[in-house]
Structure 1
Amino acid sequence: MKALPSTLGLGVSMTIGYGTLYYSFSVLAPEIAREFGWSQSFVFAVFSVGLLGGAVSAPIIGRLVDHYGARPVLAFGSIFAAAALALLSKVENGWQFAMVTLMAEFVSIAVQYDAGFAALAQRYGQEARSQITVVTLVAGFASTVFWPLIQWLLTMMTWRDVYLVLAALNLALALPVHALWPSYRREIAGAEQGASDTARAESPSRRTQLVLMAVSLSAGGFVLSAMGASLLVLLGDAGYTPAIATLAGSLIGPSQVGARVMEYVRRGVLSPPVTGLIATGAIFLALSLLFAAALVPAVAVALAFAVFFGIGQGLTSIIRGVLPLHYFGAAGYGRTMGTLSGIRMVLSAAAPVTIIFVNEQLGVAAAIGCLLVMGTVGLVAMIGLSRLPSLPTDAQR
């Protein structure tokens, strides 16, 4: 299946969703803290609490997508995201900042992968895998685009004005893409099929699949969130110079993109569960290498860690979307994604502060050891999931 213009547009809108509501924070937080005289730890603690708001909203937004279709959820999500960003430019105290940040992260789910993948599942059904991969390829450049863009904007305006620009991007670029998204909902043909889906949804097999999927994706989310926030700190404490740590970090992005390109090219060769095993296996191997690098610092080991971690990170974003489709189908996809995302985001929000605390109290080897344990849990759960049957073939039609 070719990458359609609407899918590329959705990739651009997802880039804006992540760039304005997630990646912008790490650049603007120091400016906000400086103006109000707050510590950066307070500002980032508020952001972590905001991420928990996203965990609460994920199941709600998933159900809205199932009930009303993806287009209105995406469109209103862009409007509310713009409103939240505009309000951030007006905050005058800590309580206002906390409340508006919570509002922004609560609505972020409606303009990021969860809603975007649901839109593709509704439109393409079991054939959505390639389109999901395309969206992750485009949106994977969100940090690459928005970090330098926001830094450049800060040379010409205040952080408050930057938030107004980010709000305008949601209205000017993302909203048209979402408003023009085809109003199409894949329906299950016939009452018998509907009854079959209900029975399958309540079956012990489905519950087992859902639990294993939630465990694997949540463990992976914990690792990715912790590493995104603390990688350079961990490598520095392990004895690597800033130059080597930065070099290792710079290899993650290209490895991530390379893995997604290979997934797109060979999407018909490997099943989603096999791709899931590769993703979780790559993360487990990467963390094993990082643990070894913490015990015996070696540049080659640190660089090998970065390559494998990039592969695992790149594929994890894809399996988040394709595994629920593979095992449960398009019916109720939004609700399933919302449930999985809610659990994953709770752990993701807690990960950075947990790993930094362990690192400060027990040392870098203990912190990386905790990450390795989570990587092991994710891999074992994925192995168990891969042994379970997928959605019956007749339900995929």
Structure 2
Amino acid sequence: MTFSSPAAPHQPPSTRGLFINGLGLGQLCSWGSLYYSFPLIAQAMSADLGWSKAELYGAATLGLGLAGLAAYPVGVAIDRGYGRAVMTGGSLAAGLLLVLWAHIESLALFYVAVAGIGAMQAATLYDPAFAVVARKAGPAHARAGITALTMWGGFASTVFIPLIQLLLDHVGWRDTLIILGAINIVVCGAVNFATIDTVADAPVRRPAGEGAPKERSAIADAIRQPAFWALAVAFTAYAAMFSGFTFHAYPLLIERGFDTATVVGAIAMIGPAQVTGRLAVWLFAPRTPVRLLGSVIVAVFPLAFLALELMPPDFTLVALFALGFGAVNGIITIVRGLVVPELITRRAYGAVNGALAVPATVSRALAPAGLAMLWTASGSYDAVLMAIIAGSLVLAAGFWTAAALAGAGPED
């Protein structure tokens, strides 16, 4: 006998209830402690240990690559009813790895800790949480819950970057990592354990081999659709564009003549703007088809980066860019969470979404280093910004192609 999942009660979860708010708190803390913490901790480590940026960021690239490899099996496990175990276990493991990181003295052990934390992101960040919501509500009813989760996660940088900087200033990077580890164990682990429905997620006995063929059938059906591959291209380009710009925004803007205070102020606006964009969708476009919402949003990215390329170093202009970029980036996260059930298939959400995430996660890992090499080769950030604009055009073309190819949407 094997285990598979019972049919979850397909009722939209309340966006004000324990389930969504508990998962949302976990997302806020997971994103803040596992993703946004790295550049700040790495800078402090470099000053303390004398390790180069290439050595430090190589570990982050490895970790994100492992997250990409883990995305599909994590999605399958959640489809089979192990969401509680996956997300709780991921948070506990991430917390222990952060504590291990706090005690490292060698580069090899640092790579073990950071690579492990990167892999745990596949079990703790948006994609597994979206899959848990889709399993509870049914993919066709998951929109409100997924939107609410992204609003919680949108505050992660706003809350955690100042908090981490405060901790670094007062207790140093090692104790900061221990505190972040405790947050993952005590907060993230606890809320994931308490809020994911044990009964709905419990695996049940059914004839041996029945579960896996159904998942494989859903994946096989998905990858036979040209729209799946168009979306894979679109979101791989998006991941590279977003990751590359996130890691290089500060030096890029400085090189283009903006002063430090202006750059810091503009970057600080992106997080709240993401939440504002998601809130606007929740309030004013709760039932807008994803193909329409996404088709409009992807057009904004190349226009925004082209405006950045042409603008003079003026605070008002760069602030408008940051607000616009943040808003559309927040909305594209919602589109990413809903596009599988609305354009591809409503079966095996976790597995199909995980398969779609694999190339995107790898590109997210490689883009910062790739753009750094492009900067070294070209001698300026002009070429880097051109590459980002090209990525945004690929995103738009890929999504528009998928929307056209998907027809009326999935029938299953």
Common fold: TM-score over 0.5 = yes
How many residues are aligned here? 387
- The residue type paired with residue 136 of structure 1 is T
Report SS of the residue matched to 1:68. coil
Q: Structure 1 residue 249: deviation in Å? A: 2.4
CA deviation string 1:332-367 (max 9, x = no partner) = 111112112211111111111222332343232221
Partner of 1:60 in structure 2?
A: 73
For 1:17-96, what aligned pairs fall within 5 Å after superposition?
17-96=30-109
* Distance in 2 of aligned mates of 1:277 and 1:253: 22
| Structure 1 outlier segments of 4+, above 4 Å | 194-201, 203-206, 296-301
Q: What code does the residue aligned with 2:383 have?
A: A
1:313 lines up with 2:326 in the alignment:
no
Distance (Å, rounded) in 1 between the aligned partners of 2:285 and 2:345: 17
SS at structure 1 position matched to 2:129: helix
Distance in 1, matches of 2:316 and 2:192, equals 45
**Taking every aligned residue pair, what percent have the same amino acid on both sides?**
26
Aligned residue for 2:37, secondary structure, equals helix
- Three-state SS of the structure 2 residue aligned to 1:38 is coil
**Matched ranges for 1:3-22 at <5 A:** 3=15, 4-22=17-35
Per mean C-alpha deviation after superposition, the further-off stretch among 164-173 and 370-379 is: 164-173
Q: Which amino acid aligns with 1:168?
A: A
For residues 221 and 116 of structure 2, the distance between their equivalents in structure 1, rounded to whole angstroms, comes to 36
Distance 1:379 1:228 in 2: 19
Structure 1 stretch 75-84 or stretch 360-369: which is displaced more? 360-369
Structure 1 residues 319-338: Cα deviation after superposition (integer angstroms, max 9, x where no partner): 12111121234421111121
Q: Residues 267-319 of structure 1, C-alpha deviation per residue, up to 9 Å, x if partnerless?
A: 434111112112211212111212223xx655554344323211221112111
**8 Å contact kept, 1:278–1:312:** no
Cα 1:282–1:79 change in 2 (3 A) is: same
- Structure 1 pair 136–51 and aligned structure 2 pair: CA distance change class (3 A): same
* 1:303–1:31 Cα change, 3 Å: closer
The verdict on how the C-alpha distance between 1:155 and 1:231 changes in structure 2, with shifts beyond 3 A counting, is closer
Equivalent-residue separation in structure 1 for 2:35 and 2:278 (angstroms): 21
In the alignment, structure 1 residue 105 sits paired with structure 2 residue 105: no
Q: Which residue of 1 aligns with 2:5?
A: none
Cα distance between partner residues in 1 of 2:145 and 2:85? 20
Name the structure 2 match of 1:182: 197
Q: Indicate conservation of the 8 Å contact 1:255/1:307, yes or no.
A: yes
Cα distance, 1:150 vs structure 2: 1.7
Corresponding position of 2:6: none
CA contact (8 A) 1:289 1:301 kept: no
Q: Is 1:334 matched up with 2:347?
A: no
Report Cα offsets for 1:190-241 as digits up to 9, x if no partner. Answer: xxxx999976754488531211111111111111101111112112222222
AA aligned opposite 2:178:
L
Describe the superposition over 1:136-179 as per-residue Cα deviations: whole angstroms up to 9, x where unpaired: 10111111111121222234423222222112112211122211
Match of 1:138 in 2: 152
Q: What is the match of residue 387 of structure 2?
A: 370
Structure 2 residue runs without a partner (length 5+)? 1-11, 204-211
Please tell me whether residue 147 in structure 1 is matched to residue 161 in structure 2.
Answer: yes
Match of 1:191 in 2: none
Contact 1:289 1:304 in 2 (8 A): no
Q: Distance in 2 between matches of 1:205 and 1:22?
A: 30
Inter-CA distance 186–381: structure 2 relative to 1 (3 Å threshold):
farther
Distance 1:23 1:161 in 2: 17
Which amino acid is 2:49 matched to?
A: F
Q: Which residue in 1 is equivalent to 2:258?
A: 240
**Matched-pair contact (CA < 8 Å) for 1:213–1:385:** yes
Structure 1 pair 202–56 and aligned structure 2 pair: CA distance change class (3 A):
closer
State the AA in 2 paired with 1:151: Q
Cα 1:158–1:134, aligned 2, differ >3 Å: closer, same or farther? same
Moved more, 33-42 or 368-377: 33-42
The answer to whether the Cα contact below 8 Å between 2:227 and 2:344 also exists between their aligned partners in 1 is no
CA 1:244–1:155: 2 relative to 1, 3 Å = closer
Counterpart amino acid of 2:25? V
- In structure 2, relative to structure 1, the CA distance for the partners of 1:248 and 1:201 (3 Å cut) is same
Among residues 169, 173, 198, which one is paired with 1:159 in the alignment?
A: 173
Letter in 2 for 1:370: A
Q: Closer, same or farther in 2 for the Cα pair 1:186/1:260, shift >3 Å? A: farther
Distance 1:111 1:390, change over 3 A: farther
In structure 1, what is the equivalent of residue 240 of structure 2? 222
- The one-letter code of the counterpart of 1:138 is W
- The answer to whether the Cα contact below 8 Å between 1:286 and 1:304 also exists between their aligned partners in 2 is no
For residues 223 and 124 of structure 2, the distance between their equivalents in structure 1, rounded to whole angstroms, comes to 32
Residues 1:56 and 1:97: Cα distance change in structure 2 (over 3 Å): same
Q: Give the stretch that moved more between structures: 102-111 or 43-52.
A: 43-52
Secondary structure (helix, strand or coil) at the match of 2:407 reads: coil
Q: Please, what is the CA RMSD of the aligned residues?
A: 2.5
CA separation in 2, counterparts of 1:39 and 1:195?
47
1:278 is matched with which residue: 296, 301, 320? 296
Structure-2 residue corresponding to 1:249: 267
Q: Is the contact between residue 158 and residue 271 of structure 2 (CA under 8 Å) also seen in structure 1?
A: no
